């Protein structure tokens, strides 16, 4: 385990029905491979040591004895290994035959978990052979050379590093109230499911949706293993499934209908799951019946037993090799249907602005157009909103305000875009008024400091505000989430508006949305202009252009790459990770893009600015929340303006 991530595996072994010797050898092969790759917990399919489709052979004592002997041999096989193994086998308990999961670690039998819900419909008739855990009374049995408690109570297993996991078997997760509901509320952070599910048309997609929703609902990791090639094809076909989820997100999956065995390995972020649970008040409240020892079951109130098995420590010196990837751009949608994802984002922005316009009975919007990314997205949203409300686009007043750093490229794009979109165009040059202001306050116009820059930003905001009064309109803000996180905005300048449509959209997502708009634009000129805007270096254009008339003040040269800052921001706000973990994640995500020193440099700057600039975020205008992260002081993020970054920066200094 490293940085809160635990390595898990779901196995699809080769299997021969009722051939326990063959199945044991194949199981041992996959355990050895998994252990060699640093897997900490591996799960096999339901009844993996015998095969699931033995039917009436489950009533043969020879098969049951051979299954127990296989478990005994697995205990010996794992004695020197650093891996926890979960296999499936039939277990007799007095008059009951149970479909069980067997938990093994370093030669010790840690637990036996019986299946609760037995399918007895269509092609399934498990009740012909097996009893449910609900038919079981807690008792100790002698199994595979060990005295072990077998109980119908919830069973939790806790690793030496404090990770808690539990088990359910196949049909259990298909039940209206799966055991994993109670297991998660009792503290299980990962659910392992041993399954053997046949393949039918459409069933695989349904299964993935089911597991994804169960993982998301319980805020847990979910590791699912189901038998494949080798199970009987007498009446059904088993295609094989190995799926690993984390809070509803699919991390890794096997290919179905493969002849060869498969081993699917990934890492589940336990720290992220714990953070999600802590901040989700609904999950916390749902724990109350478990915390008090009471749960409601079919209208009854009864005691909920919980058995916790603590596991011995594994070898702490074993290397941890990361196999999962961290997304470089966590804010950008990963939907298979890109159009739907982008349209949904636009619709959230449009709906928020439309409501504000209707509520204020306003038919005029005033917006500053610079030819940059942020104002372009805001303009597109305003245009779509006016079209949605049936308002004349001439009610949109686009104001371009050339200053000391405005270049021909951005000016041309701003004017062309406004013209092609059919809005009202106003051009107000701010140079003379800003020079007058410098004279009034006694500032040397040749000193290009923060006063020089901020005076231009505030002059532009003053013009927009005064125009809105004159025209009885709303000033639409253009600033984005990335700028707010870094405080890369002028207080009471571009920081302020009457409705900020981009306030929860980071820079990387804005680039994505504008490019999508370009790709889908009906007007070819608009599309070409939008592409050029995306390709233009990001800049506030507050200092003069270079000798060639090009942008000299490039934001990412000053504060760092926005793709890095957006990566940092997501994991700081969404997950609350420590600086050292975010650094490690960024190293892995951007290993082919930035050196470790570069990442660490910009991460330090991110924390310094994020803490020092909170005062700007404490008085933000209204704006729609689009994704899972927002910096609104009325919504997601409440932070004292005087909070110190000392501890965060200290941890980063220790990494140097």
115 in active site: yes
Pairing label, strands 5-12, 154-158: unpaired
Across the strands, what pairs with 92? Answer: 97
Q: For the stretch 370-388, what's the b/e string if a residue is b when 16 or more beta carbons lie within 10 angstroms of its beta carbon?
A: bbbbbbbbbbbbbbbbbee
Closest C-alpha to 500, from 647, 363, 353? 353
Give the number of other CB atoms < 10 A from CB of residue 17: 18
Query: Could you give the CA distance from residue 382 to residue 392 in angstroms, rounded to a whole number?
Result: 11
- Given 7, 40, 68, 115, which residue is catalytic? 115
Q: Please tell me the distance from the alpha carbon of residue 153 to that of residue 134, in angstroms, as a whole number.
A: 9
For residue 585, how far is the Cα from the chain centroid? 14
- What span, in angstroms and rounded, lies between the C-alpha atoms of 224 and 180? 13
Distance CA 94, CA 283 (A): 39
| Contacts of the segment 67-72: beta carbons below 8 A, 24+ positions apart | 67/20, 68/143, 68/144, 69/20, 69/144, 70/20, 70/21, 70/23, 70/24, 70/27, 71/102, 71/104, 71/109, 71/143, 71/144, 72/144, 72/145
* 46 included as an active-site residue: yes
Say how far apart CA 464 and CA 352 lie, in whole Å.
Answer: 21
From the list 7, 26, 54, 170, the catalytic residue is: 170
* Residues making up the chain, counted from first to last: 656
Residue 155, SS3? strand
Evaluated on CA atoms 126, 20, 105, 143, the torsion sign reads: positive
CB 164 within 8 A of CB 189: yes
CA atoms within 13 A on the CB side of 88: 30
Question: What residues have CB less than 8 Å from 144, skipping those under 6 apart?
Answer: 68, 69, 71, 72, 75, 102, 109
Q: Other CB atoms closer than 10 Å to residue 464's CB: what's the count? A: 25
Work out the end-to-end distance of the chain between its first and last CA atoms, rounded to an integer number of angstroms. Answer: 23
- The catalytic position among 7, 26, 40, 46 is 46
Contact 548, 611 (CB under 8 A): no
Active-site positions read: 46, 115, 170
């Amino acid at each position: 385990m490293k940085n809160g991530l635990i390595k898990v595996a779901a196995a699809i072994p080769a299997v021969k029905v009722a051939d326990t010797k063959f199945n044991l050898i194949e199981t041992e092969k996959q355990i050895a491979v998994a252990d060699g790759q640093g897997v900490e917990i591996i799960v096999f399919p339901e009844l993996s040591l015998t095969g699931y489709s033995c039917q009436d052979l489950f009533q043969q004592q020879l098969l049951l004895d051979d299954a127990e002997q296989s478990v005994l041999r697995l205990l010996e096989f794992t004695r020197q290994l650093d891996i926890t193994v979960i296999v499936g086998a039939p277990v007799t308990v007095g008059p009951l035959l149970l479909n069980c999961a067997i938990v093994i670690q370093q030669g010790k039998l840690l637990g036996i978990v019986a299946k609760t819900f037995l399918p007895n419909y269509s092609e399934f008739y498990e009740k012909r052979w097996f009893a449910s855990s609900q038919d079981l009374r807690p008792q100790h049995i002698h199994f595979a050379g060990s005295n072990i408690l077998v109980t119908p109570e919830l069973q939790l297993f806790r690793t030496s590093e404090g990770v808690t996991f539990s088990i359910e078997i196949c049909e259990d997760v298909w039940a209206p109230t799966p055991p994993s509901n109670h297991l998660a509320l009792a503290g299980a952070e990962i659910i392992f499911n041993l399954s053997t599910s046949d393949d039918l048309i459409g069933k695989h997609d349904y299964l993935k949706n089911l597991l994804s929703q169960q993982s998301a609902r319980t805020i847990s990791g979910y590791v699912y293993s189901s038998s494949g090639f080798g199970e009987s094809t007498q009446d059904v076909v088993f295609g094989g499934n190995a799926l690993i989820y984390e809070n509803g997100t699919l991390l890794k999956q096997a290919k179905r209908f493969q002849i060869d065995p498969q081993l699917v390995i990934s890492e589940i972020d336990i720290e992220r799951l714990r953070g999600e649970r802590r901040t989700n008040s609904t999950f916390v409240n749902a724990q109350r019946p478990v915390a008090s020892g009471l749960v409601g079951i079919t209208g009854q109130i009864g005691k909920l037993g919980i058995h916790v098995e603590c596991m011995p420590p594994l070898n702490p010196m074993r290397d941890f090799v990361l196999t999962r990837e961290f997304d470089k751009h966590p804010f950008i949608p990963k939907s298979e249907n890109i159009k739907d994802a982008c349209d949904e984002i636009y619709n959230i922005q449009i709906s928020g602005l439309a409501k504000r316009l209707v509520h204020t009975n306003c038919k005029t919007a005033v917006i500053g157009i610079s030819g940059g990314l942020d104002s372009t997205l805001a303009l597109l949203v305003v245009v779509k909103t006016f079209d949605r409300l049936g308002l004349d686009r001439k009610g949109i007043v686009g104001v371009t305000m050339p200053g000391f750093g405005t270049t021909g490229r951005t000016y041309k794009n701003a004017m062309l875009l406004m013209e092609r979109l059919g809005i009202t165009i106003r051009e107000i040059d701010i140079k003379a008024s800003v020079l007058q202001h410098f004279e009034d306050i006694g500032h040397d116009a040749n000193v290009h400091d923060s006063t020089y820059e901020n005076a231009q930003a505030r002059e532009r905001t003053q013009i927009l505000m005064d125009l809105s009064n004159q025209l009885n309109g709303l000033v639409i803000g253009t600033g984005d989430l990335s700028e707010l996180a870094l405080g890369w905005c002028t207080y009471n300048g571009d920081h302020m508006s009457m409705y900020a449509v981009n306030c929860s959209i980071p820079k990387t997502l804005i680039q994505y949305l504008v490019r999508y708009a370009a790709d889908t634009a009906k007007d070819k000129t608009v599309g070409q202009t939008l592409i050029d805007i995306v390709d233009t270096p990001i800049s506030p254009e507050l200092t003069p252009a270079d000798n060639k008339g090009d942008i000299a003040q490039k934001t990412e040269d000053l504060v760092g790459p926005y793709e890095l800052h957006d990566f940092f921001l997501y994991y700081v706000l969404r997950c609350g990770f420590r600086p050292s973990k975010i650094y490690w994640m960024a190293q892995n995500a951007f290993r082919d893009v930035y050196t470790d020193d570069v990442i660490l440099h910009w991460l330090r700057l991110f924390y310094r600015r994020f803490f020092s600039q909170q005062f700007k975020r404490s008085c933000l205008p209204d704006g729609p929340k689009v994704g899972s992260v927002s910096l609104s002081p009325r919504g997601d993020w409440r932070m004292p303006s005087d909070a110190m970054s000392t501890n965060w920066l200290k941890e980063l200094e220790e990494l140097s």
